Amino acid sequence: MAGRNNYSNGIRLYMETNQLVDKIWRFCDTLRDDGVTYGDYLEQITYLLFLKMADEYSSGKESKNYNIPKGCEWSILKKYDVSVISYEYQNILDALANTGGMIKKIFTNAQNKISDAKKLKKLIEFIDEESWVSESTDVKGDIYEALLQKNAENSGAGQYFTPRSVIKTMVECVCPRLDQTIADPSCGTGGFFLGALEYIHKTNKNISLKDADNLKFRTFHGWEIVDETARLCLMNLFLHGIGDLINTPEIEVVDSLKEEPQKKFNIVLANPPFGKSSSDIPTNDIKKTEKDSHYYYRSDFWTTTSNKQLSFLQHIVSMLDNNGIAAVVLPDNVLFEGGAGEVIRKELLEKVNLHTILRLPTGIFYANGVKANVLFFQKGSKTQEIWYYDYRTNVNRTLKKKPLRFEDLEEFISLYLASNRKETWSEYNPDGRWRKFSVNEIISREKINLDIFWLKDENYIDLNNLPEPEEIIDKIYQDLESVLRSIQTIKDSLLERTD
């Protein structure tokens, strides 16, 4: 009976959360005519939520002072008349930006993007209707995470939004412990941190006060180059119980590639931004930095490259402590690109144990045409063999109709975690998705190419079972995007050789 009640309560909370998310998001549509983007809207919600929750905490049973400057309190903001609210709201944002701690990080460069004073007033009243502190951390966090996903779906922000099923899979394989430090050099809105946090809570039912404090303030370390995204990350973490309205976890608003890691970490989880850098290129050649200001020196790097993913891969290896482990989402070109790519793959096999590669299906990212993989490696020993799990060949996934679910990758997780790994592929079972290759087989391939497939592609045209026209168009679009990306990669590689 208790199980049935828990299930019913879970369904009820899920429905209530979705209803509140839809309600908040529908209000955004009323602002679209005024030129307010989805990202702008989410920012304003972040500012207002922070002030509302600080007000609720300060007036609650366990009253806390969050050092909100005088005149900036929620109780004052919500009382302003429509005729002055826009002006006063911007004054409040400016004052908050000049404070310290969590407040400064949330409000740095904050601007009121809602020009219609009546709509701003209505949004403030709308947020004031809800009691945010009384909600459980899970519910508050779920609401904000859902808003972040809505933003990813409806704007250009989705290209770096890692599917939560992929995050959960990576975390389940890495198995973070309560006493470990976890870093992400391109943390976005904090998805990997929340995935790790959920796993830690799931596997540690009784957490001491000391460990809880450590988890809240010292476990997670992130870098995010964009102010707006960093503040979304901080609020997302706070709503999930990480940091408080005074102190924050270490989220630095800088380009993490610009300097060698000052700390080493037990775990790195990341999905670095895809693309090329036209300026600010890291190099291990100090003479380049003396001749050209576009280059900056990284003595710990193995080679020079403008490819962001290859730069992040080198950086992540440097971030790991001895025996540190990493799980990183990287596009196909990292596996086969020549020039700097070949140099980096050679060094990677020497410097870490690159033991597993998960090949992800297409159609799971908001940016069309992305073909990606998860590389799992550990520092402290060389690569002896690489295990591949091909979940791309003959797998059809789309964002809405056939999304990638965590359950789809449970077989991979089981095979990954097995103490005595055994291939599911063999000459007698050529359809097995789990196969290993020795490092000698890898090195003997041209350019140390890690882009390996063995399954027969069954993507032939069956006239009796054609997909829906929308699916066909999506597939063509993804293939075209992939071709264009490959051409750009070849072009960039040729340009690098002429440097």
Q: What confidence tens digit (pLDDT) does each residue in 257-266 have?
A: 999 999 999 9
What tokens were used for 303?
């080679």
| Percent with pLDDT over 70 in the chain | 88
What tokens were used for 127?
């947020």
Does the model's pTM come out above 0.85?
Answer: no
- Each residue of 434-472: b (16+ CB within 10 Å) or e? bbbbebeebeeeebbebbbeebeeeeeeeeeeeeeeeee
CA–CA separation, 42 and 46 (whole Å): 6
CA–CA separation, 240 and 136 (whole Å): 9
What pLDDT is recorded for position 213? Answer: 93
Reduced to 3 states (helix: H, G, I; strand: E, B; else coil), residue 47 is helix
Give the DSSP letter string of 331-388: ETHHHH--THHHHHHHHHHHHEEEEEEEEPPTT-SSSTT--EEEEEEEETS---EEEE
What pLDDT is recorded for position 316? Answer: 98
Q: For residue 24, with 0-12 CB atoms within 10 Å meaning exposed, 13-18 middle and 19 or more buried, which class applies?
A: buried
What pLDDT is recorded for position 16? Answer: 60
Residue 326 has pLDDT above 70, yes or no: yes
Residue 5 has pLDDT above 60, yes or no: no
Q: What confidence tens digit (pLDDT) does each residue in 226-278 have?
A: 888 888 888 888 878 888 767 777 899 899 999 999 999 999 999 998 777 66
| Paired strand residues for 45 | none
Task: Give long-range contacts, CB 8 A cutoff, 24+ apart: 204-211.
Answer: 204/178, 207/178, 211/178, 211/179
